[in-house]
């Protein structure tokens, strides 16, 4: 993987929550910043809410289906940190390189994610128990924290 650039930054930390409205209120109060965007990603059975924190973000994730991936995560582990997302250039080159090295990928190809980003997940078996998400692109959301 020596031919790929390192990640540009931590894009966001994803937090699985049961009740999105309640979690938004909590994080707005604790962070003193407004949620700037709420988006449903239907094919992932999730509704997301974003908070700008410096050059990064916090993403709250609530399941839109009782058998969706976030609902299953919460059932097994409870609410809490779900994943760490890293912004990168050359997502597909990175995925191909990891696959060639035997890294267990959830996504062999980038797919559409929240805020217009291309995303792909690496299985926690290959990352010492952490679900890693690689993101490519510039978020569609304004990220200013000025309303929903």
Strand, helix or coil for residue 2: coil
Please name the CATH architecture into which domain 9-136 falls. Roll (3.10)
The reported pLDDT for the residue numbered 130 is 97
The reported pLDDT for the residue numbered 148 is 38
E strand or H helix at 71, and its extent? helix 69-77
Tens of pLDDT, residues 23-80: 999 999 999 999 999 999 999 999 999 999 999 999 999 999 999 999 999 999 999 9
Tens of pLDDT, residues 80-129: 999 999 999 999 999 999 999 999 999 999 999 999 999 999 999 999 99
The reported pLDDT for the residue numbered 2 is 64
- pLDDT value at 145 more than 50: no
Neighbours of 46 (CB within 10 A): 26
Structure tokens at 90: 């050359």
pLDDT band at 139 (very low <50, low <70, confident <90, very high): confident
The reported pLDDT for the residue numbered 146 is 37
CA distance 100 to 113: 24
């Amino acid at each position: 993987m020596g031919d790929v650039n390192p990640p540009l930054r931590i894009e966001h930390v994803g937090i699985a929550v049961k009740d999105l409205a309640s979690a938004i209120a909590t994080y707005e109060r604790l962070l003193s910043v407004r949620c700037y965007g709420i988006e449903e990603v239907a094919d992932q059975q999730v509704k997301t809410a974003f908070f700008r924190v410096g050059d990064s973000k916090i993403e709250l994730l609530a399941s839109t289906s009782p058998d969706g991936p976030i609902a299953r995560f919460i059932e097994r582990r409870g609410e809490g940190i779900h994943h760490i997302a890293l912004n990168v250039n050359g997502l597909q080159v990175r995925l191909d390189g990891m696959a060639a090295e035997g890294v267990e990928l959830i996504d062999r190809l980038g797919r559409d994610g929240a805020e217009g980003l291309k995303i792909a997940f690496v299985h926690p078996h290959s990352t010492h128990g952490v679900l890693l998400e690689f993101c490519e692109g510039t978020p569609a959301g304004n990220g200013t924290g000025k309303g929903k």
